[in-house]
Amino acid sequence: MRKTRAKGATNVAGRPPNHFYHCIYRPLSIRAQAAALHLRGRIPVPTAQDRRLTPHVGWGILPAPSMNKCKGNAGSPGPVTVNTSTGTWVQIKGQISRRVSIIAVIVASLVADAAWGQASAGSSPAPATNASTASGMARGTRRNNRAPATPRNPVPILPALPAPNDRSFYASNDVPHGRVEQVNYKTSAGADKRMRVYLPPDYDADAGKRYPVLYLNHGGGENDSHWSATNPSSGGFANFILDNLIAAGKARPMIIVMPNTSGVVSGTPPKPGEDDACSREYLQDILPYVDSHYRTRANRESRAVAGLSMGGFVVLNTGLTHLDTFGGLFVFSSGYWPDQLPAFEQNIQPLLSQANINDRFRMPIYFAAGETDIALLNSQRTLAVFNNCGVRNFWVLSSNGHEWLNWRRYLYQTAQIMFPEDR
């Protein structure tokens, strides 16, 4: 005659049954242990006696509304009282393994663990954080709750940097050479300005061909001549770097515009919808002049902006806020100072939180700095704003510091991934 559990019987144990304790309860966190014990009051686990009485038969469970009464500290659970007065064991006919019950308890425990954590977060005071950090954490949490959408543009393979002592990539080698022109123009504000323009070797050979444009910006205390200067300690050799890359088939022929932004570039992030003096000069004067005097491809996919140090703010203040104009952004040894970073994060949040933000970049935004660079921390902290919003990016940590030795290497690396639609 089969024995049955008497109605209203109570199972009291000093700890959960062995299979529950060793397979389910013990591996869980303290919080999950408490949740699991709570669930055992609602979903009794078959005891060894139950299993002996009904071999090869799985167990189903009718929930009991009564609660567990757990004594002892959180780290060492005390006696557990399971009230089954309103719930009974029900045999499930068929060849269902008892392991189904164990799996159900595991899943339920994990679900309860998550719910417990949410309830705790709602009732417990949050640790002190500043507004910028809190908002960044919240945005990161929201984005982590869903898989990122696949951007239209694939991530390019980033070439390796040249060795620090390698001079061959910017040497005047026996290859076809382009030329650098000096251009004078007047701004809308009435100022007389100057810029340098690099034209690739085949520019004059085909009068019908149009080219993408890289707008390349100098650093603080410098001017339009520095990127094409040929002094290793203070020059970029930009024309020779492109000549060599184009000859090797590693970069697409492009025009490089090197303006003089001294006096107009700012390290202060602009307010939403407002352009600083540098952005106004770019949009009202520099771009119209270049597009009207040279055979350019006047679309965002064919425009990139890069800059070193103070020139990096041109990328962030002008390029980032006008993604309908510039498709590629490259920041060399630059980033906002700590006192400006909260304003930048707040101002740029409406843009970076857009669901399709990665489609608005022609390719991942690029940040690079040297390991002894004075701008290293500012660069990393600024990049963190993009990371918090799930924006695709390249981060390159090189040797050496805040110097032309690095900036030439960064140009060599990034020129090879610019304008992939033209390849």
For the segment 59-116, what is each residue's pLDDT rounded down to a tens digit? 333 333 333 333 333 443 333 333 333 433 334 344 444 555 556 555 555 655 555 4
Helix pair angle (131-144, 376-388), 10° resolution: 50
CB 397 within 8 Å of CB 160: no
CB 283 within 8 A of CB 300: no
- Dmax (CA) for the chain in angstroms is 107
Separation between Cα atoms, residue 139 and residue 137, nearest integer Å:
5
pLDDT of residue 52: 44
* Domains of the chain listed by start with CATH number: 10-125 (no CATH), 168-422 (3.40.50.1820)
Once rounded to an integer, what is the mean pLDDT over residues 381-404? Answer: 96
pTM of the model: 0.67
pLDDT for 150:
73
Looking at this protein, which amino acid is placed at residue 381? Answer: R
Burial class (CB in 10 A: 0-12, 13-18, 19+), 56: exposed
pLDDT surpassing 50 at residue 134: no
User: d(Cα 145, Cα 163) in Å, to the nearest integer?
Assistant: 41
As a whole number of angstroms, the distance between CA 130 and CA 141 comes to 17
Task: Give the alpha-carbon dihedral of 122, 125, 130, 132, to 10 degrees.
Answer: -10
Contact status, residue 113 vs residue 31, Cβ threshold 8 Å: yes
What is the Cα Rg of the chain in Å? Answer: 32
Q: Give residue-wise pLDDT tens across range 29-40.
A: 544 554 444 444
The pLDDT of residue 273 is 87
E-only strand ranges, 249-391: 255-259, 303-308, 328-332, 365-370
Q: If pLDDT is split at 50, 70 and 90, which confidence band does 357 have? A: confident
- pLDDT above 80 (res 220): yes
Q: In terms of Cα–Cα distance, which of 282, 267, 281, 276 is closest to 344?
A: 267
